[in-house]
Amino acid sequence: MVQTKGYATHDASAKFGPFDFERRDVGDSDILIDILYAGICHSDIHQAKGEWGNSTFPMVPGHEIIGRVKQIGSSVTKFADGDIAGIGCFVDSCRECVNCERDVEQWCIKGCAQTYNSTEMDRSTPTYGGYSKHYVIDQEYALTVAADQNLEGIAPLLCAGITTYSPLRRFEAGPGMKVGVIGLGGLGHMAVKLAAAMGAEVTVFSTSPGKEEDATGLGAHHFVVTRDPKALKPLAGSFDLLIDAVSAEHDLNMYLDLLSFEGKLVLVGAPEKPLPVNSFSLIVNNRSLVGSGIGGIRETQEMLDFCAEHNVTADVEVINITQIEEAYDRTIRADVRYRFVIDMQTF
């Protein structure tokens, strides 16, 4: 076994401290990475606080991981020692079901092995996430990352990046297309950067007037303050695609009404309570309300390659390992522009 250590919480208090544990031995097709950076995703906070009802403790969260390859198994061809590797939200899947065959391993019918708060495919070995020194993962489930980039800004691409890239690609964001991004947080800021890099005309919808300058800096062409619903009226029927990254309660109908013929509103945020939808908000203009969740390994690699080519990284605030709780509090207050990333060298 590989001895390692992480920062774990032992119950839903989400109080973190050092935790010694073991990773599996490096198998023939495995790589061992030294973790350099781990992003803090809002879902880490939900899980660490037991808010989704499926938490197992001790928990080492973290599924936005960038590391340097330290050891490779005998049959590994995708990585060499010293390469940079990324790990996202899952680390294995059954590899034979219809969804694994379709390259959407995140929807593996048998259930994929999530990066933490889950188990390996043996359904017994617990998985621990990226707030740790090392990870052992099959090469097929690790992503290749060019080393000559701002690596702390790459870490959040592994969840926030792919979560927004996938629906933008699926609905063909590009030149001539009007894309709206609802909510400018961790996910929203990636949606703006990616949609702009794809060539779309991007509008940000936000409740915070103070974010206009940020939105423009991220690549948005227009900014709409949504505190007054009247501000949306003149925009009715004018958007091809809306990426809804809001995780609080909000009025979906107000946004659906902005969609043009066959326009789509994609939910990537996850509000706790159900959101009411008026039938006519969908019937008019043959609109669609759809969901999207991360992406498979093939698409995640495509996203990383796209970001490298277009110089897209997340805007991050790098913290020490001892600042996790403070970062959680600030993330909950939306007081971060736009993602916290833990520098694992501080551990």
Positions in the binding site for Zn ion (CB under 5 A)? 41, 43, 93-94, 97, 100, 108, 159
**Smallest separation, CB 138 to Zn ion (Å):** 14
Q: What is the DSSP letter of 32?
A: E
Detail the DSSP E strand segments found in 88-142: 90-92, 113-114, 118-119, 126-127, 134-138
- Asked if 127 contacts 91 with a C-beta cutoff of 8 angstroms, the reply is yes
Q: How long a stretch of residues is the chain?
A: 347
**Smallest separation, CB 103 to Zn ion (Å):** 11
Distance from C-alpha of 63 to C-alpha of 81, rounded to nearest angstrom: 22
**Smallest separation, CB 234 to Zn ion (Å):** 35
Residue closer to Zn ion by CB (options 62, 67) is: 62
**Smallest separation, CB 261 to Zn ion (Å):** 33
- Asked if 34 contacts 72 with a C-beta cutoff of 8 angstroms, the reply is no
**Smallest separation, CB 81 to Zn ion (Å):** 29
Residue closer to Zn ion by CB (options 43, 322) is: 43
Residue closer to Zn ion by CB (options 160, 258) is: 160
Nearest to 298 by CA among 194, 172, 165: 165
**Smallest separation, CB 89 to Zn ion (Å):** 6
Residue closer to Zn ion by CB (options 97, 284) is: 97
- Asked if 129 contacts 116 with a C-beta cutoff of 8 angstroms, the reply is yes
Residue closer to Zn ion by CB (options 190, 252) is: 190
How far is C-alpha 117 from the geometric centre of its chain's CA atoms?
A: 16
Residue closer to Zn ion by CB (options 239, 328) is: 328
Residue-wise burial string across 103-114, b where 16 or more C-beta atoms lie within 10 A, e elsewhere: ebbbbbeeebbb
Residue closer to Zn ion by CB (options 32, 336) is: 336
**Smallest separation, CB 88 to Zn ion (Å):** 8
Distance from C-alpha of 49 to C-alpha of 61, rounded to nearest angstrom: 11
Nearest to 95 by CA among 80, 82, 111: 111
